[in-house]
A and B are shown apart, each in its own frame.
Chain A
Amino acid sequence: MIYEFSYATVSIFLAFVVATVGLSFYMGRKATSSAGFFAAHGQIPWFVNGIAFAGDYLSAASFLGICGMIAAYGYDGFLYSIGYLAGWIVALFVIAEPMKRLGKFTFADALDAKFNSPGIKLAAGISTLAVSLFYLIPQMVGAGTLIQPLMGLPYWAGVVMVGAVVIVIVITAGMVSTTWVQFLKGSLLVIFSLVLTVMVLARGFSVAEGGVDGYALQTIGPLTAEQLSKPSIAGREVLPRADGWDEHALVRLRDDDGGYSVFSINEVDGAYRLLEAQAVTSGDGPTLVGGVPKGEGEGERLLHPVGHVTRLPGDAQQTGPLGPLEFFNVLHDSELVLWGEQTVRHASGDKTVVYFQKPTDGSRVLRPGEHPKFAGIRGEASAGSAKLIRDRVNFLSLMLALFCGTASLPHILIRYYTVKDGAAARKSTIVGIASIGFFYVLTLYLGLGAMTSGALDVQSNNMAAPLLARSISQLLFAIISAIAFTTVLGTVSGLILASSGAVAHDLLSGYCKIQMTDAQQVRVAKFAAVAVGAIAILLGIWFEKMNVSYLVGWAFSVAASANLPALVMLLFWNGTTRQGVISSVIVGMTSSLGWILLSSDTYKQVYGIDPELAIAPFTQPGIVTIPLAFLTLIVVSKLTAQPRDE
């Protein structure tokens, strides 16, 4: 079985969380003014701020999502690492110093530095809120999924717990304690990822027939087409291929306990081999695994943990410790098993998801194009040239959004106000880049290590990194889970702080011109923090089933389209006007949001209707909406430019 409740694990987990939060309280006990609440008095040392950048940035999506994606598809997950880091180059070389020079508390401050216009404050405030909320959802979803297996609590309890703890962190001490949480968690994350990587390398690879539960997956064959069509195979009764099963290349054989084993049919040169798969049926009744109830008792079954190597170079059984480069070399020449899934729909409305083995050459997981979304870039798409072009555009669009998105995320931008000057902003960004870059190198080892650990949950790859730790030691599992949880805490508090700043500083005080004393502004910001936190909890519960990295992609696209064009043009083009900035933010935000809401992914995953009906031609909006926002700014600025009298 994959998850088990243990008091040792839970107490280590709680100790970690309490220590991190407690320490940050102690550090941040003196933030009462607005300068303290929003910007930690500008007194955070640059090194601490740099690691805190890493803490802010390496969210649950980075740690859980990227490791999970690499574990499932290999190199394609690493593309995210590359894109996320590249975004920091934009932040450092283009945005960091002017941002620090122009602003005070929020992103809107910097945009508005030249014009002092309520319209800009309104537009920038709203886009900050929109991006923060979109970024909050995946963090909350991550928290829920993490708590569920770890502490045996229901999903919603995890979401509520994170929400409550974060609200407490933010309203007691604002940016100071948020920064220290980020610093602690950023350092812990990098250090323990390194520890885990070293252990993965020390363990090396070994050949197995299944996952860590010791169950050997069955293989039958090779069979001829005639043998395959007989009523019994290998002495076992074949269950009828009807009620949805007839539409898939699957065979079910009856087992003695009343259930069945399901096999996928793999054909090589007219010979058929049956590889054991795993089937989960869900619907109105209890969840079934292989036709019998899910559970640990008599007559019940659990899903087997997966991810194993089937052949090593030179037909060795195990490699022993490997060097960091040798690791890739050996994997390149090995064979391993990845898992795919197909859904069988029954007449009763129930459905059975079948997870099947995909024997894969090691070389395939070390190159781009294994993920179905990116498959078109390899030119292997069966659907023809339209899909090929669409996949390429999608890929380029995603990489563009990742590149431009980082430098426009509000919770990253506000971190420039916590240090004392431009030089400190620069130095902390460099520290941030170095630690984030180092971490992203580790993600490839962790992801590939998880892929071959035999410990993966076939139903969800979000837990790949913690499960990899669990395959090494229970203690490490508790620590890694605790770090992942504090990761969520830290990122969520940064986001809530950015949104409360947008509400109190930009919208109420900047746009509505409500006169507030310093203390009142902080109080309003705290109320806003509670409200945003509550909304985030609700959205987190609402979006339970959504894929975490998918949601993060949304946030990046919206941030890159709404914020970056205005920010860049303001810094580098003297002809930029107030109206140009406002229209660019609004056009960028609405076009990217609209595109996402009309794209095939949203049709399928949110509305549950046929993705072929989608209006948007491809799913990632960046490649269209970022240039569109630039264009809008230039055109509107030209139209509204004042003739200059020298």
Chain B
Amino acid sequence: MNELENRRHNQRLGLGLFAVYLLLYVGFMLLCAFAPAVMELRPMGGLNLALLYGFGLIIAAVVLAMIYGGLCRVAPPPADAADAADAADAADAGKADGKEAEQEA
């Protein structure tokens, strides 16, 4: 019933978090490739930026994954079976549409 809505919500959430991580990753790559001297600065606790940013990326991946897991919407258990059936129907319908379109061609 609201399976499709959940799916949309999850997809939007996923793409949003993906964009956040992509920014971090691209920033890291560009710094490495074009401003390597910046990576040698030691801003915190004697660790250089290369280590901090590198560990940061790994931690960010885990944290974002957890946020995603926490915020994803899941259909309530009792409605689960019905929703699954709906989803299957929808998928079948989609497939049938696709086939028709091909035949029209």
Contacts and interface: CB of A to CB of B under 8 A. Distances in A.
Interface of A: 75, 78-79, 81-82, 85-86, 88-90, 92-94, 97, 101-102, 113-116, 325, 328-329, 332, 363, 366-369, 377-379, 392, 395-396, 399, 403, 421, 423, 426-427, 429-430, 433-434, 437-438, 440-441, 444, 578, 642
Given A93-B15, A114-B95, A441 B72 contact: no
Contacts of B29: 395-396, 399
B46 interface: yes
B18 A94 contact: yes
A430 B69 contact: yes
B98 A86 contact: no
A82 B64 CA distance: 15
Contact of B57 (A86, A115, A332): A86
Interface string B24-37: 01001100111010
Nearest to A330: B46
Given A93-B18, A115-B102, A399-B29, A363 B48 contact: yes
Contacts of B32: 79, 368-369, 377, 395
B37 to A, nearest CB: 8
Given A116-B98, A430-B66, A437-B58, A642 B28 contact: no
A642 B98 contact: no
B1 interface: no
A9 to B, nearest CB: 33
A115 B99 CA distance: 7
B55 A441 contact: yes
B89 to A, nearest CB: 13
B45 interface: yes
Closest 5 CB pairs of A and B: A93-B14, A93-B18, A329-B46, A433-B65, A430-B65
B18 A90 contact: yes
Nearest to A377: B33
Nearest to B58: A437
B87 interface: yes
B63 to A, nearest CB: 10
B10 A92 contact: no
A366 B65 contact: no
Given A367-B39, A368-B39, A369-B32, 13 more contacts: A75-B50, A82-B54, A101-B91, A116-B99, A329-B46, A332-B48, A377-B32, A399-B25, A426-B72, A433-B61, A433-B62, A441-B55, A444-B54
Interface in B73-105: 74, 84, 87, 91, 94-95, 98-99, 101-102, 104-105
Describe B's contact surface by its main secondary structure.
helix
Nearest to B14: A93
Interface residues of B, number: 49
A328 B47 contact: yes
B61 to A, nearest CB: 5
A83 to B, nearest CB: 9
Nearest to B72: A426
Given A101-B91, A116-B99, A366-B48, A86 B40 contact: no
11 contacts: A88-B65, A97-B7, A113-B95, A325-B46, A328-B46, A329-B45, A423-B72, A423-B74, A430-B69, A437-B58, A578-B102
Contact of A86 (B61, B94, B102): B61
Contacts of B99: 116
A85 B57 contact: yes
Nearest to B10: A97
Nearest to A440: B58
B49 to A, nearest CB: 9
A78 B84 CA distance: 43
Contacts of A440: 58
A367 B21 contact: no
A618 to B, nearest CB: 13
B68 A437 contact: no
B52 to A, nearest CB: 10
A81 B14 CA distance: 23
A114 B32 CA distance: 41
A396 B28 CA distance: 11
Contact of B25 (A86, A94, A430): A86
Contacts of B48: 332, 363, 366-367
